[in-house]
Structure 1
């Protein structure tokens, strides 16, 4: 895959960071606003796809490594499983951090939800785990598709 024009690369350099920040915002605020781990992970993964398309597969493989994405994918999956099984002591996906104090331990006020970050209990942690899993899986898929396209192109040329 060849790299795109200088204009596309410049715009990619400008918006790449904003897309990643917005994706992590969607992941972390998933219990307060529409969105969550899957949607935010897809947004961050699309930033990696934009980087791959604008710089080409040969240049992008220098800093987008499939092994790193696989490592983060496994970490996100293990984190979600650990959080899920941690709540099995009382009930399935029980909020074991409720009323324990600290950042994630405050319960929501009865009535109108003021929208505080610390009212989600264990849900923000699960959103982070799902977001990490989805963005890493999306990165692996995009890199695999780029490698397959590159292999097909080499095969056609020979």
Structure 2
């Protein structure tokens, strides 16, 4: 079963905006309410919109379960590597070793009201990105498996 052309066209128009908003939530997670999980869920909602607007066979060819599993694994590995990198840097597990280093995400946070500089917080934005990638893969995989059960009943 497929949706009408109007629904598919609307979904295709909405998808970039949903993805950009999800990435915004992930990237600004250390400055505003939100973060990796919330942004990953918004991005996965965009994928669910594509699942709802298109045929299962079309979706299955675009989003394979192995690709979504690899996405989930990538997010988990990035998160664990960032936690273990602190031990390699000579500190404790999950230590924020990039903070105040002047490197990527290493600028010092000013006192007072938050001016919204993205290049602050050290490893926290990278871990937000890792969690966003993991949630995107996991939620996409769950929905894909749920849709595979529906396709078997239709046959």
Tell me how far 1:39 sits from its aligned partner: 0.4
Q: Which ranges of 4 or more aligned residues in structure 1 deviate by more than 6 Å?
A: none
Uncovered stretches (5+) of structure 2, i.e. residues with no partner? none
Equivalent in the alignment of 2:77: 78
Distance between the aligned counterparts of 2:129 and 2:12, measured in 1? 25
Tell me how far 1:63 sits from its aligned partner: 1.1
Tell me how far 1:105 sits from its aligned partner: 1.1
Equivalent in the alignment of 1:147: 148
Matches within 5 A, 1:1-158: 2-88=1-87, 89-154=90-155
Uncovered stretches (5+) of structure 1, i.e. residues with no partner? none
Conserved? CA contact 1:26–1:36, under 8 Å:
yes
**Higher mean displacement: 96-105 or 130-139:** 96-105
Conserved? CA contact 2:29–2:125, under 8 Å:
yes
Distance between the aligned counterparts of 2:114 and 2:125, measured in 1? 16
Conserved? CA contact 1:12–1:54, under 8 Å:
yes
TM-score scaled by length of structure 1:
0.91
Distance between the aligned counterparts of 2:143 and 2:60, measured in 1? 11
RMSD of equivalent CA atoms: 1.2
